[in-house]
């Protein structure tokens, strides 16, 4: 790994820093937020959303709204290292960036497999923010074993008629489009006979029902398809070859390794709380082992950054991280839980409230972070799945 920027990368880092100095208001960078949660407190306030639309337009003029996309599709065409620099600088400043399923997974998959018509139709609307996307993959009986999905799509003239259920669909309630995999050949082996569709979420026959989590937050949904007619032109790639497209999408998901910056910031916040807060000071005095626990979290966040740099270095050389992405995903998601546990230890009984109140320990965010962190080892491929990949592809162990 080379940790140093070359002259071009150093100049790009200075350009990004200069942009943030000039354009990022302090009230945005310092806004109340949630660790580990995309929907930061106040994010949907009208004043923030109005500014955010302007911010997105400014990023798009630089190609930074989708920095990895080719320039011909409205992206920045940045190198792997430049993408990393951009993410790193934005993360340290707590600056928001467009993202999500459209930018990270749907768009890149459409670029690889889509027709020219599909690219012209969907890619510009992802870049502009006109279309939010959701991912219609998991089902009640097909989560980690996704190929067991049972949602059916039967060809009928110029349409496919879709029936079935999807679950844990993040953001479906405010998405205009979705990426769907459904079984088009029920007699084929389970990894075959699956097709991939681009779905208008307002299609008649699609019903979205909220799944409210233990934070009393509506992020996930159940999505039901009842004789929903999807035009055949919205099939992506070849019929019955959708599993291969889906694995491409999941590769984009798992290779989008976040920098360790967010975890380093959380660890620093916890140390600051231990130093400055009466609650933190008291707990530290009564529980000497917490000093070592905090030190472990600081070191682990730095280890995470080294794993991330390794992956970036591989991608720069044109190599494809596989087991390395699983190592990063496993370490990062389980560090999320350990940081949350340390925060709960540090605040003690004061960490139990979920109220958003600046007079409470850490503004009441510790309990919310703890409850949300429990999802990290599940989403995007469970820790068990990642360990199997590491064992088989990294250590050469036989399938159990």
> Average pLDDT, stretch 222-247?
96
- pTM for this one? 0.81
Q: SS3 helix, strand, coil % of the chain, rounded to 5?
A: 55, 15, 35
In a domain, 197, yes or no: yes
Q: What is the gyration radius of the CA atoms in the chain, in angstroms?
A: 22
Task: Name the active-site residue from 253, 300, 304, 324.
Answer: 253
73: pLDDT strictly greater than 80? yes
Task: Report d(CA 9, CA 286) in Å as an integer.
Answer: 47
So what's the pLDDT on residue 331? 94
Which region among 123-127, 318-322, 345-349 has the lowest average model confidence (pLDDT)? Answer: 318-322
Task: Report d(CA 351, CA 46) in Å as an integer.
Answer: 30
Q: Within this chain, do residues 289 and 361 fall inside the same structural domain, yes or no?
A: yes
| CATH value at residue 383 | 1.20.140.10
Q: Is 121 a catalytic residue?
A: no
So what's the pLDDT on residue 37? 43
In a domain, 127, yes or no: no
Total number of domains in the chain: 3
Q: Within this chain, do residues 215 and 312 fall inside the same structural domain, yes or no?
A: no
3-state secondary structure of 191: coil
Q: How many residues does the chain have?
A: 400
39: pLDDT strictly greater than 50? no
Q: Within this chain, do residues 265 and 350 fall inside the same structural domain, yes or no?
A: yes
Q: Within this chain, do residues 283 and 385 fall inside the same structural domain, yes or no?
A: yes
- 162 pLDDT band, cuts 50/70/90, is very high
Q: Within this chain, do residues 207 and 82 fall inside the same structural domain, yes or no?
A: no
Q: What is the mean pLDDT of the chain?
A: 87
Q: Which residues pair with 133 in a beta bridge?
A: 177
In a domain, 251, yes or no: no
| CATH value at residue 73 | 1.10.540.10
So what's the pLDDT on residue 251? 63
In a domain, 399, yes or no: no
The β-bridge relationship of strands 218-231 and 235-236 is unpaired
> Average pLDDT, stretch 56-85?
87
Q: Within this chain, do residues 84 and 186 fall inside the same structural domain, yes or no?
A: no
Task: Report d(CA 387, CA 392) in Å as an integer.
Answer: 9
Q: Please give the distance of CA 356 from its chain centroid, rounded to a whole number.
A: 24
**Domain span including residue 303:** 257-394
| Better-scored residue on pLDDT, 103 or 225 | 225
Q: Within this chain, do residues 263 and 327 fall inside the same structural domain, yes or no?
A: yes
Q: Within this chain, do residues 35 and 161 fall inside the same structural domain, yes or no?
A: no
3-state secondary structure of 287: coil
Q: Which of 169, 164, 210 has its CA nearest to residue 183? A: 164
56: pLDDT strictly greater than 90? no
Q: Within this chain, do residues 232 and 349 fall inside the same structural domain, yes or no?
A: no
Q: Within this chain, do residues 205 and 298 fall inside the same structural domain, yes or no?
A: no
In a domain, 1, yes or no: no
* Angle in degrees, CA 325, 247, 79, rounded to 5: 55
Instruction: Judge whether 367 and 355 are in contact, CB under 8 Å.
Output: no
Task: Report d(CA 228, CA 360) in Å as an integer.
Answer: 48
Q: Within this chain, do residues 268 and 347 fall inside the same structural domain, yes or no?
A: yes
> Average pLDDT, stretch 169-174?
92
Q: Among residues 50, 77, 98, which one ends one of the domains?
A: 98
Q: Within this chain, do residues 374 and 265 fall inside the same structural domain, yes or no?
A: yes
127: pLDDT strictly greater than 70? yes
């Amino acid at each position: 790994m080379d940790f140093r920027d070359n002259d071009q990368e150093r100049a790009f880092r200075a350009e990004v820093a200069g942009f943030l100095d000039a354009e990022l208001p302090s009230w945005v960078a310092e806004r109340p937020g949630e660790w580990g949660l995309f929907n930061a407190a106040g994010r949907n306030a009208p004043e923030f959303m109005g500014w955010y639309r302007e911010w997105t337009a400014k990023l798009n003029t630089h190609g930074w709204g989708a920095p990895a996309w080719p320039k011909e599709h409205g992206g920045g065409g940045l190198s792997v290292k430049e993408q990393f620099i951009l993410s790193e600088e934005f993360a340290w400043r707590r600056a928001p960036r467009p993202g999500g399923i459209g930018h990270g997974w749907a768009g890149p998959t459409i670029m690889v497999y889509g027709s020219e018509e599909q690219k012209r139709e969907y890619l510009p609307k992802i870049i502009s923010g006109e279309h939010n996307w959701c991912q219609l993959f998991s089902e009640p009986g097909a989560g980690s074993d996704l190929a067991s999905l049972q949602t059916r799509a039967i060809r009928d003239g110029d349409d496919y008629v879709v029936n079935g259920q999807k679950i844990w669909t993040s953001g479906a309630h405010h998405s205009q489009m979705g990426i769907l995999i459904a079984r088009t050949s029920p007699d084929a082996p389970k990894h075959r006979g699956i097709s991939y569709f681009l779905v208008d979420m307002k299609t008649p026959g699609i019903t979205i029902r909220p799944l409210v989590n233990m934070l009393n937050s509506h992020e996930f949904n159940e999505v039901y398809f009842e004789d929903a007619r999807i035009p055949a032109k919205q099939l992506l790639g070849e019929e019955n070859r959708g599993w291969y497209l889906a694995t491409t999408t999941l590769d984009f998901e798992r290779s989008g390794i976040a920098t360790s910056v967010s975890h380093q910031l959380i660890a620093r916040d916890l140390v600051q709380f231990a130093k400055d807060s009466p609650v933190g000071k008291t707990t530290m005095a009564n529980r000497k082992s917490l000093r070592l626990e905090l030190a472990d979290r600081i070191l682990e966040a730095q280890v995470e950054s080294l794993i991330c740099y390794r992956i970036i270095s591989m991608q720069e050389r044109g190599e494809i991280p596989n087991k390395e992405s699983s190592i990063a995903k496993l370490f990062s998601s389980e560090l999320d839980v350990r940081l949350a546990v340390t925060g709960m230890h540090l605040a003690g009984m004061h960490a139990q409230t979920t109220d958003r109140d600046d007079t409470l320990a850490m503004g009441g965010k510790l309990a919310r972070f703890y409850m949300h962190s429990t999802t990290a080892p599940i989403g995007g491929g469970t820790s068990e799945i990642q360990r199997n990949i590491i064992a088989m592809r990294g250590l050469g162990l036989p399938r159990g």
